[in-house]
Chain A
Amino acid sequence: MRRWVLPGLLLMGLVGAWQVAASTGALADLLGLESFLVPSPAEIAESLWQNRSLLAENAWVTLQEVVLGLGFALVAGLGFAVAMHLSGTLRRASHPLVVGSQAIPILVIAPILVVWFGYGIGPKAAIVALICFFPITVNTLDGLRSVDPEATKMMRTLDASRHQILWRVEGPTALPYVLSGIKIAVAIAMIGAVFGEWAGANSGLGILIRQDSAQLETARLFASVAVLAAMALALFALVALAERRIVTWR
């Protein structure tokens, strides 16, 4: 708990400074803006409370996109990493392509997916899945390959089949790597969902943010951002908790 004291103090200091700078109009003057465009933390909190049901509805839409996309990325990423691990030919053929695919700005293909698949949850989940696939796959493969070759030899003389070595040695060895991959994925999944919504959607926090931006509803816009950040933190904490529960031997 004590390690949270300093960051907590820093955060309170920053919010406090923002509150003073915004409520006195100093921040707006500095930026050369009308003061209603620069909400204070207190105004954001008030907006958060007043718009709670609207924010919750849209947050629920975005959360579904994120969870669905993460789920797809997890299944596909784990499956593909194991396949690449078991088949040297597949690994040599596809590893450079998987790494190279990171050069494609996946977010900008969101509009294409909307053209193809419409305004439903599908294209958003697909964007999330596409950007989360890479960290999960690469981390899992690294984990599977980090096994000590001596352990594999030992298992072979103890009559282990290939899949028993995978299940009993390589899998558990890879688990902490997989969880790190998921943590990275969780952090970027929200970005994917918001971009997906911007490319075409009827609801979601991304849509709300865009509307509020057009209507100069800056307090609610910040409130949406706060909700997005809170969801990302909560998912991250969930994975960290799972890690502590599962990986007890580290």
Chain B
Amino acid sequence: MPAKAKESAAESASPAYGEAPGVAVSIRGLRHSYGELRTIEGLDLHAPAHGVLGLVGPSGCGKSTLLELIAGLQEPERGEVALGDGLGPDARLARCAFMPQRDMLLPWLSAIDNAALALRNRGVRRGAARREAGLLFERFGLAGFEQAHPAELSGGMRQRVAFLRTLVAGKPVLALDEPFASLDAITRAEMQEWLAGALAADPRTVVLVTHDVEEALYLCDRVAVLSARPARVVDELNAPEPRAADRDAAVTDPEFVAARERALHALRKGAK
């Protein structure tokens, strides 16, 4: 990354995590192709500052590509992706941290060093970076696992460390790509509760990709249902408010069930 982007990353990241300024995500008239293959066509989406936007859609519909476009890892063919006032790829990279589908923890680093990667990349010394990441371990129920290596952690734990790594980067926007897809149903439900708590404690603008409608409605303020390739918005719905703290109560609420049916209907319609 050029030095200029590095500076702006440091600016938008300061002060430390938790106080990251709110940044809205706006996508207008977005088109993207891989060679001949049109993956996204005429897409408009908006997530307000500190809002949580869920994206559901059939497999292979370009959801992951959309996240990479938001994070500044790819450039649109047409249209624009803005993170606050940041339009260019470097500006988006500086404002967005990306959590890939698999945890991608580096097996040779301890949990705390994995979580502190962004700080180390910014030139923070190892001791200071560990102290800073360590605060989050305490706050998010990972105290005692700082020195563990990824191979010693359970799937849920690894996912938590991967999320902390994303949070520690201090970016105002988080792009989460199916963060819990690899987990079993029980762990996934626990992690959804955990993530809801973490985002309440440390609000960020989040774009969450998932194939699980229930997960999207539980974690997000607003859910966009995308069609099969080329991706466009079939339906957009607000998640039922207020959300119950306990997931089991939330997902059995009649309003939640109605929203889930509507989203599933839109999903089936868009898949054709």
Contact = CB atoms under 8 A, between A and B. Distances in A.
Contacts of A249: 107-108, 149, 151
B169 interface: yes
Given A151-B104, A153-B73, A164-B121, A159 B6 contact: yes
B96 A168 contact: no
Contact of A153 (B9, B98, B165, B169): B98
Contact of A158 (B68, B97, B101, B108): B97
How many B residues touch the partner, as a band? 20 to 34
A157 B72 contact: yes
Interface in B68-111: 68, 71-73, 93-94, 96-102, 104, 106-108
Given A150-B101, A172-B108, A159 B121 contact: yes
Contacts of A172: 106, 108
Interface string A146-158: 0010110111111
B1 A154 contact: no
> Which of B97, B98, B99, B169 is most buried by chain A, counting CB atoms within 10 A of its CB?
B98
B182 to A, nearest CB: 13
A169 B122 CA distance: 16
Contacts of B96: 157
Interface string B222-242: 000000000000000000000
B1 A168 contact: no
Nearest to A171: B108
A211 B20 CA distance: 78
Contacts of A155: 117, 121
A93 interface: no
Interface in A40-80: none
Given A148-B104, A249-B107, A157 B117 contact: no
A161 interface: yes
A156 B6 CA distance: 11
A154 B6 contact: no
Nearest to A172: B108
A151 to B, nearest CB: 5
A172 B105 CA distance: 13
A158 B169 contact: yes
A161 B6 contact: yes
Contacts of A168: 106, 117, 120-121
Contact of A156 (B1, B102, B106): B1
Interface string B111-132: 0000001101110000000000
A97 interface: no
A157 B71 contact: yes
A11 interface: no
A15 B204 CA distance: 73
Contacts of A248: 108
B58 to A, nearest CB: 21
A156 B73 contact: yes
B179 to A, nearest CB: 12
A164 B118 CA distance: 11
B171 interface: yes
Interface string A116-133: 000000000000000000
Contacts of B151: 249
B71 to A, nearest CB: 5
A157 B108 contact: no
Contacts of A148: 102, 104
B99 A154 contact: yes
Nearest to B103: A154
Which of A150, A159, A169, A249 is packed against the most chain B CB atoms within 10 Å? A159
Nearest to B150: A249
B232 to A, nearest CB: 24
Contact of B102 (A150, A158, A169): A150
Interface string B45-68: 000000000000000000000001
Contacts of A156: 1, 73, 93
A158 B72 contact: no
Given A150-B104, A153-B100, A158-B169, 17 more contacts: A148-B102, A150-B101, A150-B102, A151-B104, A154-B99, A155-B117, A155-B121, A157-B171, A157-B175, A158-B165, A159-B6, A159-B9, A164-B121, A168-B120, A168-B121, A172-B108, A249-B107
Interface of B: 1, 6, 9, 68, 71-73, 93-94, 96-102, 104, 106-108, 117-118, 120-122, 149, 151, 165, 169, 171, 175
13 contacts: A148-B102, A150-B101, A151-B100, A151-B106, A153-B68, A153-B73, A153-B100, A154-B99, A156-B73, A156-B93, A159-B118, A160-B121, A172-B108
